[in-house]
Amino acid sequence: MGKRLSALAGLAVAVLAALPGCAPMLRVDAPRPPSHAITQAADSPLKTALAAHIPPGESGFHLLHAGRAALAARLALAERAVHSLDVQYYLFHTDTSGKLVTAALLAAAERGVRVRVLVDDIDSLDKDVRLATLDRHPNIEVRLFNPFRTRSSNLLVKAWQALRDHVRLNRRMHNKAFIADNQLAITGGRNIGDEYFEAHDGLDFVDLDVLAAGAIVDDLSRSFDAYWSDEAAVPASALPVAPDDARLQRATRRLDQLRSEHAKSEAGRTLAAADPLPALLAGHTAWHIAPADLIVDPPSKAREPDKPTARLLIGQLAGLWIDPRQRALIVSPYFVPGPMGMAYFRYWHHQGVHIDILTNAYSASDVPVVHAGYANYRVPLLQTGVRLYELKPVAEPVGGRLRDLGSSASRASLHAKAFVFDDLHVFIGSFNFDPRSAHLNTELGIVIHSPALAREVTAIAEDAMRPERSYQPRLIEPVDTPDEARVQWHDTFQGSERVSDVEPGTTPLQRALLRILRALPIEEHL
């Protein structure tokens, strides 16, 4: 019996090993023609319009809080570009929002705009034909970052490849950037997809982006160029598919028709009305003029596991020497501080700094396994004096909302990544406060030294932390020993205070699963 089982196991391994050989492969030797961002000195309508509002050598910023405004701003940049569009994303879905953005990129390319699209390959295996078709346009080039060599949507093939090459494939490009003519750029937490732009029927991510103008955009363009030219960025021409011009023409016609029909619809008119660009370019809405620092992981982080911390985003942030004296506010959907984070919090608390952290409740999180990592730190954080707030999946209909939950039946989930120090400095970017962002994925963000913008982000976060919208975990007093510490969750429901002794919105089975996940040694991968 033992020999038979051993033989069957060996056969299973042999079959798994042979499966990738039956699947089409990426051509890693495909040519990579060099290209670079255009100079900021190049004339364009965007440059002319911004000159009246952004002083030479300085940077301006506008917060994109609402999802519709964030999508409208991206479409507006694509429509106004005359030289170049550089687009870099972790996820680029093919839903309505993704198709609208793709249609806008194709329309720009038809006008003669050079379009470069760089996407992480984590979600691209079933999009090879679409990406290769887009790449076929003479003014569009698509590259995949850190791609899977075997191109198959078969789960067994994907699993075998992930196991065989797990060190490399576990490291992803999480950066987000949308840059027009090297004059205006959008960066922050949003990927391209309906759930990021208040357009999904079941899920709405609560997120933040910033629209940037001026000197900082040149820094973003240099970062894009570094990733674009890195050896991990493989051209879509390397994909084992060969769409012809007829497919490109059909796709262009379909997307153009979708774009036209959407513009005439009520949703399209609502989206157009949310566009912040006309008011900003006309001076009706003021820019936040402020110095800023771009902090970004080197693209080689995805290839070199032992990169010195000082060269990574977390090291660059520490190198800015922004040490809070009064308050530190951290907004992160996935929050696993680790020993280093806990050391910072203990030091800040000892210095009299008030620390507030907004993250997802278990019932609002889209990645429960990461919530398990956070749950292991909940009691130590509270014992350190940190105030925790966990966003609910549904909030009560009260005024001054974080987002208009009343307009949709969708479940809310926090996705914004922002840090505010002393209402003076604010970080907005793709970086989650967890080990994956710190050590595995590449990340990007801007530290803006603007009290006004910092106060704006703080107001948004504090609105989300209200008891109608968030649970507040608190230690049960008295606590004789750390091992006896327990947590209760406080919130307001229908105008009355409410207290729960278990994680709100969870079933006994979910809590049992959470206990199992908390016991597993998986923190470094979260």
Active site residues: 174, 176, 181, 415, 417, 422
As a whole number of angstroms, the distance between CA 312 and CA 174 comes to 14
As a whole number of angstroms, the distance between CA 341 and CA 324 comes to 14
Q: Token digits for 475?
A: 């230690």
Q: Are 267 and 71 in contact (CB under 8 A)?
A: no
As a whole number of angstroms, the distance between CA 360 and CA 234 comes to 35
Q: What angle do CA 139, 145, 149 make, to 5 degrees?
A: 110
Q: Are 121 and 145 in contact (CB under 8 A)?
A: yes
Helix (H) or strand (E) run with residue 296 in it: strand 292-296
Q: Token digits for 447?
A: 């530290």
C-alpha distances in angstroms, 37 versus 40, 84, 89, 92?
Answer: 9, 8, 17, 22
- Collapsing DSSP to helix, strand or coil, 427 comes out as strand
For residues 392-431, one letter each, b for 16 or more C-beta atoms within 10 angstroms of the residue's C-beta and e for the rest, the string is: bbebbeeeebbbebeebebbbbbbbbbbbbbbbbbbbbbb
Give the number of other CB atoms < 10 A from CB of residue 76: 22
Q: Token digits for 321?
A: 């020497």
Cα atoms in the Cβ-side hemisphere of radius 13 Å centred on 156: 12
As a whole number of angstroms, the distance between CA 64 and CA 225 comes to 25
Q: Token digits for 60?
A: 């301006």
Closest CA relative to residue 390, chosen from 411, 422, 360: 360
Which residue type does 508 have?
Answer: P
Closest CA relative to residue 176, chosen from 209, 215, 135: 209
As a whole number of angstroms, the distance between CA 393 and CA 362 comes to 9
* 299: preceding bond cis by omega (within 30 degrees): no
Is the sign of the CA dihedral 105, 254, 267, 49 positive or negative?
Answer: positive
Q: Token digits for 109?
A: 């390319």
3-state secondary structure 301-366: HHCCCCCCHHHCHHHHHHHCCCCCCCEEEEECCCCCCHHHHHHHHHHHHHCCCEEEEEEECCCCCC
Q: Are 431 and 437 in contact (CB under 8 A)?
A: yes
As a whole number of angstroms, the distance between CA 20 and CA 197 comes to 37
